[in-house]
C-alpha cells in the first residue's frame, strides 16, 4: 500500500495555486493507487515555533519529561511519525518574499531531529528517511523557479535531502504575473507527465 503525506502551506483559503496543484497531484496518485492512504496537514493552520522549551523537551528522555514537556514534544513526535509512515510526500510550496512560508520552515524545524530523521557520521550528516519520494507544487507571482531569487525550491530540496529524501520532483506555476494562464497550464502539464 502507498501512504501519501500531503502538506499545504498556502495562507489562501481559496484561490491558492499551490493547493490546486496539490489537489491535481493527489488525484493522479490516488487514481494510480486506489488503495493509497492519505494524511493531509494544513501547515497554514499553524504549528508552534521551536524555542528553548522545545529544545528542553526534545532533549529530555521521554520517561523523564514533565507533562508540559511531553505535550511540547508530542507535536514534533506526531509530525515525525507522519513523515516516517509516508512513501510519498506531496508538498504545496507557494513562494512568499522569495522564500518558503514560515509554516513550512517550522515544519522542517520540527521534523529535522537528530536520531529520528538524520544522524551525524564521520562522513557528515546522513538522512534516515530514505526510499521516499517527494513531489513539490511550487507557485509564485514574480519569482521564476530556479532563478537566483528563488530561495524556496533550493531550501526545500536541501532539507529533504538532509532527511534522506532525494527522489524529488517539482512542478512549477512560477512567475504567474507575466502570464497566469500559461504558467498554470504548464504546471498542470507537468503534473500530468509525472510518473504515478
Give the chain's domain count.
Answer: 1
pLDDT at 195: 84
Residue 121 lies in a domain: yes
Q: Is residue 30 a part of any domain in this protein?
A: yes
The residue with cell 528563488 is: 150
Q: Tell me if 68 is assigned to some domain.
A: no
For residue 71, is it within any domain? no
Domain assignment present for 61: no
pLDDT at 128: 98
The CATH number linked to 153 is 3.40.50.360
Please work out, in degrees rounded to the nearest 5, the angle formed at the alpha carbon of residue 166 by the alpha carbons of 163 and 169: 125
17 labelled ligand-binding: yes
140 labelled binding-site residue: no
Is 77 among the domain residues? no
pLDDT over threshold 80, residue 129: yes
Kindly state whether residue 70 falls inside one of the protein's structural domains: no
pLDDT at 160 over 90: yes
In a domain, 75, yes or no: no
Reported confidence tier of residue 1, pLDDT bands at 50, 70, 90:
low
16 is in an annotated binding site: yes
In degrees to the nearest 10, what's the CA dihedral of 18, 21, 26, 29? -130
Is 10 annotated in a binding site? The answer is yes
**Digit-coded pLDDT (tens) for 115-124:** 999 999 999 9
Judge whether 28 and 133 are in contact, CB under 8 Å: no
Print the domain residue range for 118: 3-49+87-193
Tell me the C-alpha distance between 8 and 74, whole Å: 21
Amino acid at each position: 500500500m502507498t501512504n501519501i503525506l500531503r502538506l499545504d502551506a498556502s495562507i489562501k483559503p481559496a484561490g491558492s495555486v499551490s493547493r490546486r496543484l496539490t489537489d491535481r497531484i493527489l488525484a493522479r496518485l490516488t487514481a494510480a493507487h486506489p488503495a493509497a492512504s492519505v494524511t493531509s496537514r494544513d501547515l497554514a493552520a499553524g504549528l508552534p515555533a521551536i524555542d528553548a522549551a522545545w529544545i528542553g523537551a526534545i532533549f529530555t528522555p521521554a520517561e523523564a519529561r514533565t507533562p508540559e514537556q511531553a505535550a511540547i514534544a508530542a507535536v514534533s513526535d506526531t509530525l515525525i511519525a507522519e513523515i516516517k509512515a509516508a512513501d510519498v510526500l506531496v508538498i504545496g510550496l507557494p513562494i512568499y518574499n522569495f522564500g518558503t512560508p514560515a509554516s513550512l520552515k517550522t515544519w522542517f524545524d520540527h521534523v529535522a531531529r537528530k536520531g529520528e530523521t538524520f544522524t551525524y557520521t564521520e562522513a557528515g550528516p546522513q538522512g534516515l528517511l530514505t526510499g521516499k519520494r517527494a513531489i513539490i507544487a511550487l507557485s509564485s507571482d514574480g519569482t521564476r523557479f530556479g532563478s537566483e531569487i528563488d530561495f524556496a525550491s533550493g531550501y526545500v530540496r536541501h532539507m529533504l535531502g538532509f532527511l534522506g529524501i532525494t527522489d524529488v520532483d517539482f512542478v512549477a506555476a512560477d512567475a504567474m504575473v507575466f502570464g497566469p494562464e500559461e504558467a498554470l497550464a504548464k504546471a498542470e502539464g507537468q503534473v500530468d507527465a509525472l510518473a504515478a
